[in-house]
Structure 1
Amino acid sequence: MNELRFETLWKFPATLAIAVAGGAVFHLAGLPAAWLSGAMILVAAATLAGVPTVMPNKFRDGLFVLLGISMGAGVQPEVVERVSEWPLSMAMLLLVVVGVTIAGYCVLRYAAHWQKETAFFGAIPGTLAYVIALASERRADLPRIASTQSVRLFFLIALLPFAVVSTTDTDASITVSRYTSDLWDYAIGVPLCILGSLLAVKVRFPGGWMTGAFFTSAGLNASGAVHLVLPESIVLICMVAMGALIGCRFNEMTFREFVSVLSASVSAFAAAFSVSVAGAGFVSWMIDIPFGQALLAFAPGGLEVMTLMAFVLDLDPAFVAAHQIVRFTGMVLLLPAITLITIGRAPQSSDATGHTSTIATPDKPMT
């Protein structure tokens, strides 16, 4: 046990150093979502090359709490108020989320012949951190899930700006107010979010560390009583750490095995994205809004990334943020029940080493 702790003491800082280096390289190259994608790709490459990487469970749980707080910051009062302005697009959003999930699942389950649980989590659109939090509690094939989710995120970030610019005449439009937090907001909000996470974990709510913090942060921000917005420096650190966490998931997969799942991941993304494009096109025609704006709202990407793209491309960020928030919130609310119905309750884990490879996978049992 002492030897394992000693190994973790040097492997963990080394893992973070690799992640920072990857994020810095991508940032200097001007690539999108640089700190997240750069950290993820370099840590994954190092892991596949045989470099020992690790993400201790306690650090992972703390990271999920911070990410939950950050995501909840998008639920501001004016965004909540404007949700009622778009009933048709909100209804269409539900159909698109269901269609995207089914399309991706069918490809992974029946074309690629992935195990049921792995295909399910691999097909869930967006909310990468939440999916990882859910899958971490179960005996799913985490490397495959990370692969297909990472491929989806990469293609979204790489392709969406070009798709939006080429199909949309951008004009200045309504913006979402940006809030900052003071010491009072943090003193009230952070302890409440931690308490929310602890309660969610206590009742074994799926993804409890992130889910509890998200709902607490969202409720506080939506009320307007507290503006709990993490500093950009903290969010950046979380992005690097999240990239490192995803990269560590490849420690049970060889490079050859990664290449073997790449085709399935790309195919699943293509099927799912086609559903998003069709839904966005229909809504754009029905309520006369720019196609790119609808596409950003329906794309299975993160709230912060999609909203940021709306700001940069002079589209309506409130529309995009509201739909992404509703999509994420709806998934957080419904996925636990859907997961329990389709897969069952998560098994108890006895992991205490801090390693990320302690949950056996059905496709590749641990030895």
Structure 2
Amino acid sequence: MNSAFFNSTLTRLPVTILLAALGGGTFYLMGLPAAWLSGAMVFVAAATLAGVPTIMPDPLRDALFVGIGVSMGAGVRPDVVERIGDWPISMALLLVVVVCVTLAGYAVLHFGAKWSKETAFFGAIPGTLSYVIALATDRGADLPRIASSQSLRLFVLVAILPFAVVSTSGTLEGETGLLQVSSWFEIMIGLPLCLLASLIALKLNVPGGLMTGAFFMSAGLNASGAWTLILPDYMVLPCFVLMGAMIGCRFGSMTFRQFVSVLGASVAAFSAAFLMSILGALAISSLVDIPFGQALLAYAPGGLEVMTLLAFMLDLDPAFVAAHQIARFTGMVLLLPLITGLVFGRAKPRS
């Protein structure tokens, strides 16, 4: 028993973490967006597909779900929440765009690529990669396919969006330092509250409960303005590295040939979904006085943090982009567990 544990965890986990750190560091030095997450994922996935034994133990996975949830809540600031009501038309159209994006991707993956309903559903959900992985893990869906679809979508978005909005590109001096890291006192009080919320959500069998509970507690604290819970980089970055490693490990059940075959469906699904985002951005930019590039970033099916960062870099209205991305993310966190339960039934309780 001890020998098996040593061989399966104590030797494989350090290798996995080392690969993830090398990947994240390499992508960071290359100046790529979302470097620590995507780099870790690519390196671990490539190694896994090449036959390197990688592993991500469940307790460590659960802990990083909580950490990711806490970090996501840092984007919900009082000033952003207050300004959500300033854009009623674009917010209303956002709902339509999210539905169309999901349906377009789902149609391609399920009816075109013949993926199962659950796998196609999670593979088509726009953005919130970490949250989707948490939900899909609870449902027992095909994580390698979902990770391929979601990861390719985020990678392509980050690669092409700066060029899509080049007419309004520029730099915002000092904007990236707007969010101040919490004091140790705030962190020592806030983290246990988030963990408690995660355990309650898990006890109630909420899909993705560990991340959902932490997110809503963190978001509530930050939105109230009475408490700040923003973790320092040295606590957040390891979470992204481990999340990338976890996704990469899931490719252990897929051969390289199978992975290549999935890419075609993923590209097709992304193309259909991104077309819906472009149409939505064109519609809102013609209805109200909003630059097309700004609307596209707000409607893009990408991660909250990455899209907001791109808004800072491209001299767009970061509050507008952040408000819409937060509204999309929060709405999906609220509705996805309900929709998933109604369509696919309740997930089996985790032992």
For the criterion TM > 0.5, the same-fold answer is yes
The answer as to 2:253 corresponding to 1:252 is yes
8 Å contact 2:171–2:313 — kept in the other structure?
A: no
CA contact (8 A) 2:24 2:40 kept: yes
Matched AA of 1:323:
H
Residues 203-214 of structure 1 aligned to structure 2 (within 5 Å): 203-214=204-215
Q: CA deviation at 1:171?
A: 8.7
Give the C-alpha shift of residue 31 in structure 1. 2.2
After superposition, where does 1:1-367 map in structure 2 within 5 Å? Answer: 1-6=1-6, 7-166=8-167, 168=168, 177-349=178-350
Identical residues among aligned pairs (%): 66
Q: Counterpart amino acid of 1:45? A: A
CA distance in 1, matches of 2:323, 2:127: 15
> Structure 1's 342 and 198: CA in aligned 2 closer, same or farther, altered over 3 A?
same
Q: Deviations over 1:1-31 (max 9, x none)?
A: 4334212111111100001111122222222
Larger mean CA deviation between 63-72 and 340-349 belongs to 340-349
Contact 2:169–2:313 (CA under 8 A) maintained in structure 1: no
Q: 1:348, CA displacement in angstroms?
A: 4.1
Change (3 A) 1:169 1:150: closer
Cα gap change, 1:343/1:3 in structure 2, threshold over 3 Å: closer, same or farther? farther
Render the CA deviation track for 1:141-166: whole Å, top value 9, x for unaligned: 11111111111111011111111114
- Structure 2 residue matching 1:322: 3-state secondary structure: helix
Distance 1:348 1:296, change over 3 A: same
Which 4+ residue blocks in structure 1 deviate beyond 3 angstroms? 168-177
Q: Deviations over 1:111-149 (max 9, x none)?
A: 001111110111111000000000101221111111111
Asked whether the equivalents of residues 33 and 306 of structure 2 are also in contact (C-alpha less than 8 Å), the reply is no
Is 1:69–1:213's contact at 8 Å kept on the other side of the alignment? yes
Q: Is the 8 A contact 1:173 1:314 kept in 2?
A: no
Summarize the Cα distance change of 1:292–1:173 in structure 2 as closer, same or farther, 3 Å threshold: farther
2: CA distance, partners of 1:296 / 1:285? 16
CA deviation after TM superposition for structure 1 residue 293, in Å: 0.9
| 1:109/1:119 contact within 8 Å kept | yes
Distance in structure 2 (CA, Å) of the matches to 1:72 and 1:348: 26
Q: Note if contact 1:134-1:207 (Cα within 8 Å) is conserved in structure 2.
A: yes
Question: Hey, what's the Cα distance between the residues in 1 that align with 2:102 and 2:237?
Answer: 29
Q: Distance in 2 between matches of 1:296 and 1:122?
A: 20
Q: Aligned equivalents of 1:36 and 1:130: distance in 2?
A: 14
Mark the CA change 1:259 to 1:102 in structure 2 (over 3 Å): closer, same or farther.
Answer: same
| C-alpha distance 196-107 of structure 1, shift in aligned 2 (>3 A) | same
Q: Aligned letter for 1:191?
A: P
RMSD (Å), alpha carbons: 1.7
The equivalent residue for 1:357 is none
**What is the CA distance between 1:285 and its match in structure 2?**
1.6
Say which SS state the counterpart of residue 11 (structure 2) adopts. helix
Structure 2: how far apart are the matches of 1:141 and 1:298? 27
Structure 2: distance between partners of 1:87 and 1:349? 40
Alpha-carbon distance, 1:180 to partner? 2.5
Q: Structure 1 stretches of 5 or more lacking a match?
A: 351-367
**Contact 2:169 2:315 (8 Å CA) reproduced:** no
Give the conservation status (yes or no) of the 8 Å contact 1:173–1:316: no
Task: Give, in whole Å, the separation in 1 of the partners of 2:205 and 2:103.
Answer: 26
In structure 2, what is the Cα distance between the partners aligned to 1:169 and 1:57?
Answer: 42
Supply the AA of the counterpart residue of 2:14: P
1:169 to 1:194, Cα distance in 2 relative to 1, 3 A: closer
How many residues align? The count is 349
CA distance in 2, matches of 1:347, 1:122: 21
Please give the secondary structure, in 2, of the residue aligned with 1:137: helix
Q: Which amino acid aligns with 2:117?
A: K
Distance 1:170-1:279 versus aligned 2 partners, 3 A rule: farther
| TM value normalised by structure 1 | 0.92
Letter in 1 for 2:21: V
Give the CA deviation at 1:236. Answer: 1.5
Which secondary structure does the structure 1 equivalent of 2:165 belong to?
helix
